[in-house]
Structure 1
């Protein structure tokens, strides 16, 4: 019986593609290795992106999850990335490049130096990372949202989720994406956030100490709407700069293809909360520019994972359009939308259009004209005409 040849795990490099068994799945999926880490006990860990899947599914896996019988390596000649070696001191230094062993090789490669050394491997060049964690839009200096498209998606460092877990109130949440929290927090198993001011600390002890000093029981700013236990608070990014920046850092953990702005002054943030006997707990939010040349009514929108699939996304969208009605404008979210965002907006637009068409038909007598123009729909719903047209075309 022939033995199936396997690539040695030491031969794998960043950019290599192979079958990987996703956590909780029995079948192999094609995936790309984004980063390699060696644990203190000399075991390999691989951060992988599953091809044609959203990046929120990216994860660290061990050798047992890999199909080493069929590996596609990246083209040579690129810049060599670093393989991280976990040590108790979390120190990382550089070491010489390594060669890719041939398939079927069983010889163990010699380990040069101690466990704190970093081994390099070949990869295609990457775009240099901007120095500021709150970076401006690369293509233009104009600020189009509290977070804006373009920026980190081509940066190899920011493709890797850097925070393992956060604790926010009574929930522990696993982040989906990279967020530029301070480097010293990225080595911790969990970071802790005050659910009222969103300050981040490194331990539960630090959080308890902070809570003794923090007198907030709700987001700063003005409560502008309340219905039963739900409230909306309006936050001015200029008056509450620290809170706004902490909110953007938190949101970035769950929003892909977004780049943080350091300057939150031009933006308003609308925080949706649930109230109980302990205070007003953040559920989600949306932000908008105070003055938008494109008349966007939403820059970013997010419902935190513990509150998703409960109708809060629709509530945030509807509230943004109610604000547009108060301003006498037709609004639209900043484009492009995420996959989940597009689904939510399409659902909202479709339902609002159908509601208006049904209401119009009920108002019309038998002899009246039944048609309703796109302009009429836009005026009655405050939904921009382009969004109405695209929704009608899809449906």
Structure 2
């Protein structure tokens, strides 16, 4: 699009330009954040611009008209040095000997990493921490004595006010209180965290230079009684992405190009629930376990749908090494998908979740925590501790932080004094009770600012604000997993050949 600049010369907006763009904000006043132009197209003699708002989540990217662009502050893209090409295409990833579509389809950006534990002064090693005594949750003021047979990591006291037992160590950054944004999740330690191994049917996408995968390619998805507006790119067949609506069978997740095709499909589709074994049912909530090898088409279609709402991920068509746990809501028409998580059949890193998603119509209703709680219930049956695969999405990160905080605080506040002695518990014991990996237990305690260092031992101090906040949160948490309703027998996949 060519417009006149202030000096009378003509300028052309091209991909890579940056300038303020009017963003329609329903909650606050309209604003003009800086945005990058990712694509330009002409529709009915009018130019449209696909923009990404800098420092905003990509789910807010959109097509805008020229009248929403502030041309006075136009910034042209900087020229960059040429980078080596692979397979003849800049920034492309090496292809396998097999057809690339069979291996993977490149996609977009997603996630914020759950922070590694921020070190408190001279924090014991994992072996020592596993034996360290942790905090008692008590309301009245009392004097605590450390166990002599264990290295203490914290003894907890609440007396109505938060009290700092020792001045913060010089140069040490403290975690923000619970409820922070993604910025709070950055690693505050001086060391560089080691990147975890990426696995999963959807794994972290490390190539962000493909302009096509940075743009939403689907306008709308109709899934049962819901119409969903995708947040991110998903590699559905290209001929379907130009349609105003993509239709999905809500039971088998097959994608179709028209309502007529969907109606014809429904006359032949016998499914009324996800294919697989129902391993949990309480009230209207059910969980189904789907084997990625036995139900390959369903698993691939589930990943395509999930990719619409997960960023920084690459879709893998090889679903054989994964199990998918789909949560549904039951009514007279069948079992309707609410969300899911996937996990590796064998994980050397103790991952109990590879990808996790609650579909947008069911978000902010407690289903995300229910999925997380279910994943840990499976770990309890397996006799293992588990952790989610990182990086997590921004929403996934918040959900896990909240779940870990509530789960650990629930245990601490249930502790009772033993014969008048201060109640104590170890990191190992918390991990064994909850199946939450020790590293996540420690990082959560640090995130909540519960750990203090006093007279050579670690003390956990629960303030009245944390106690009251936890009680309010638990009153709102109506959905819980009932272990008695779980019918699950773990399999030893190491002895099952290629699954």
| Secondary structure at the counterpart of residue 33 of structure 1 | strand
Aligned ranges for residues 204-353 of structure 1 at < 5 Å? 204-353=259-408
Q: Deviations over 1:142-196 (max 9, x none)?
A: 8721111124533211001101110000011100000000010111111000000
For structure 1, which runs of at least 5 residues remain unmatched after alignment? 80-124
In 1, the alpha carbon distance for the partners of 2:8 and 2:378 equals 58
Structure 1 residue 23: deviation in Å?
3.1
In 1, the alpha carbon distance for the partners of 2:79 and 2:409 equals 55
Task: Give 1:59's match in structure 2, choosing from 51, 58, 62.
Answer: 62
**Residues 137 and 148, structure 1, Cα contact 8 Å, conserved in 2:** no
C-alpha change, 1:211 and 1:389, in structure 2 (3 Å) is: same
In 2, the alpha carbon distance for the partners of 1:78 and 1:242 equals 43
**Residues 285 and 302, structure 1, Cα contact 8 Å, conserved in 2:** yes
For structure 2, which runs of at least 5 residues remain unmatched after alignment? 83-88, 108-194, 449-499
**Residues 7 and 71, structure 1, Cα contact 8 Å, conserved in 2:** no
Structure 1 residue 367: deviation in Å?
2.8
**Residues 251 and 272, structure 2, Cα contact 8 Å, conserved in 1:** yes
Q: Deviations over 1:20-67 (max 9, x none)?
A: 11234622111111111111x221111111111111111111111111
Structure 1 partner of 2:41: 37
**Residues 385 and 432, structure 2, Cα contact 8 Å, conserved in 1:** yes
Aligned ranges for residues 17-96 of structure 1 at < 5 Å? 17-24=18-25, 26-39=30-43, 41-76=44-79
In 1, the alpha carbon distance for the partners of 2:276 and 2:402 equals 31
C-alpha change, 1:7 and 1:250, in structure 2 (3 Å) is: farther
**Residues 198 and 204, structure 2, Cα contact 8 Å, conserved in 1:** no
C-alpha change, 1:35 and 1:251, in structure 2 (3 Å) is: same
In 1, the alpha carbon distance for the partners of 2:382 and 2:53 equals 44
Task: Give 1:389's match in structure 2, choosing from 442, 461, 464.
Answer: 442
2:425 maps to 1:372: yes
C-alpha change, 1:73 and 1:228, in structure 2 (3 Å) is: same
Q: Deviations over 1:288-333 (max 9, x none)?
A: 0000111100000000000000000000000000000001000000
In 2, the alpha carbon distance for the partners of 1:343 and 1:9 equals 47
| Secondary structure at the counterpart of residue 356 of structure 1 | helix
Equivalent pairs counted in the alignment come to 343
Structure 1 partner of 2:162: none
| Secondary structure at the counterpart of residue 72 of structure 1 | coil
Structure 1 partner of 2:130: none
Q: Deviations over 1:106-141 (max 9, x none)?
A: xxxxxxxxxxxxxxxxxxx95226642752899x9x
**Residues 106 and 213, structure 2, Cα contact 8 Å, conserved in 1:** no
TM-score of the aligned structures, taking structure 1 as reference length:
0.82
| Secondary structure at the counterpart of residue 33 of structure 2 | strand
C-alpha change, 1:325 and 1:137, in structure 2 (3 Å) is: farther
C-alpha change, 1:384 and 1:7, in structure 2 (3 Å) is: farther
In 2, the alpha carbon distance for the partners of 1:168 and 1:7 equals 51
**Residues 21 and 66, structure 1, Cα contact 8 Å, conserved in 2:** yes
| Secondary structure at the counterpart of residue 446 of structure 2 | helix
C-alpha change, 1:57 and 1:6, in structure 2 (3 Å) is: farther
In 2, the alpha carbon distance for the partners of 1:389 and 1:8 equals 60
| Secondary structure at the counterpart of residue 425 of structure 2 | coil
2:104 maps to 1:135: yes
**Residues 198 and 389, structure 2, Cα contact 8 Å, conserved in 1:** no
C-alpha change, 1:286 and 1:274, in structure 2 (3 Å) is: same
Structure 1 residue 365: deviation in Å?
2.2
In 1, the alpha carbon distance for the partners of 2:410 and 2:103 equals 41
Structure 2 partner of 1:176: 231
Aligned ranges for residues 137-152 of structure 1 at < 5 Å? 144-152=199-207
**Residues 152 and 159, structure 1, Cα contact 8 Å, conserved in 2:** no
In 2, the alpha carbon distance for the partners of 1:33 and 1:254 equals 22
| Secondary structure at the counterpart of residue 311 of structure 2 | coil
Structure 1 residue 366: deviation in Å?
4.4
**Residues 8 and 68, structure 1, Cα contact 8 Å, conserved in 2:** no
In 1, the alpha carbon distance for the partners of 2:257 and 2:366 equals 32
TM-score of the aligned structures, taking structure 2 as reference length:
0.65
Structure 2 partner of 1:102: none
